[in-house]
């Protein structure tokens, strides 16, 4: 079998296509969860802990350049090339992961529950016995008498 035909067989298998669809949907779903965390949850958490934005929780690892005139925010310092220990950004990503993992857990749990409640597929009826077999059985049964 040539490499090209092996690749074609691999690429058109149902599992590969399902995986590709899952990755695409997962990427889009990840963006939704990222927005929920960044735009909805983190502002509320920031408000509870004193109105601070978690993305601006960082530690300077070196001083900004002498000619730096911008604000002391994560974005401005990163653009200026200042190395930062950005634990606030990490906390946001960690919360994002926890929420995404919980949502996937709930989804899988529901899917498994639905699979358990599905009725078993009806067994297929046995194929009809060919007429010659039926006749041979009748002959056999009549000879036994």
Q: What's 56's domain CATH number?
A: 1.10.1200.120
**DSSP 3-state helix, strand, coil percentages of the chain (rounded to 5)?**
70, 5, 30
Residue 141 exposure: Cα atoms within 13 Å on the Cβ side:
6
Identify whether 140 is part of a domain: no
Identify whether 50 is part of a domain: yes
User: What is the rounded average pLDDT for all residues in the chain?
Assistant: 82
pLDDT at 119: 62
Give me the tens of pLDDT residue by residue for the chain, a chain 145 residues long.
688 888 877 777 767 777 888 889 888 888 888 788 778 887 887 788 776 567 778 899 988 888 888 888 888 898 888 999 989 888 878 887 888 788 888 888 888 888 877 665 655 667 888 899 888 899 999 998 7
Identify whether 52 is part of a domain: yes
Identify whether 141 is part of a domain: no
**Mutual orientation of helices 14-35 and 87-117 as an angle, nearest 10°?**
130
Number of domains in the chain: 1
Segments forming the whole domain that contains residue 30: 3-120
Identify whether 138 is part of a domain: no
pLDDT digits (tens, 9 = 90+) for 64-89: 888 888 888 888 898 888 999 989 88
- Residues 74 and 58: beta-carbon distance below 8 Å: yes
Identify whether 126 is part of a domain: no
Identify whether 78 is part of a domain: yes
Question: Could you give the CA distance from residue 11 to residue 51 in angstroms, rounded to a whole number?
Answer: 51
Report CA-CA distances (Å) from 93 to 58, 90, 120, 129.
14, 5, 42, 65
Identify whether 137 is part of a domain: no
């Amino acid at each position: 079998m040539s490499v090209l035909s092996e690749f074609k067989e691999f690429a058109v298998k149902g599992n590969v296509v399902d995986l590709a669809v899952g990755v695409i949907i997962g990427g889009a779903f990840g963006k939704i969860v990222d927005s929920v965390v960044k735009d909805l949850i983190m502002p509320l958490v920031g408000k509870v802990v004193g109105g601070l934005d978690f993305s601006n929780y960082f530690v300077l690892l070196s001083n900004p350049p002498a000619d730096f005139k911008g604000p002391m925010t994560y974005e401005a310092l990163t653009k200026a090339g200042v190395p930062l220990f950005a634990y606030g950004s990490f906390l946001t990503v960690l919360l994002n992961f926890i929420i995404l993992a919980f949502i996937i857990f709930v989804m899988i749990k529901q899917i498994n529950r639905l699979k358990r409640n599905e009725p078993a597929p009806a067994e297929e009826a046995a194929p009809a016995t060919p007429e010659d077999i039926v006749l041979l059985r009748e002959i056999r049964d009549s000879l036994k008498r």
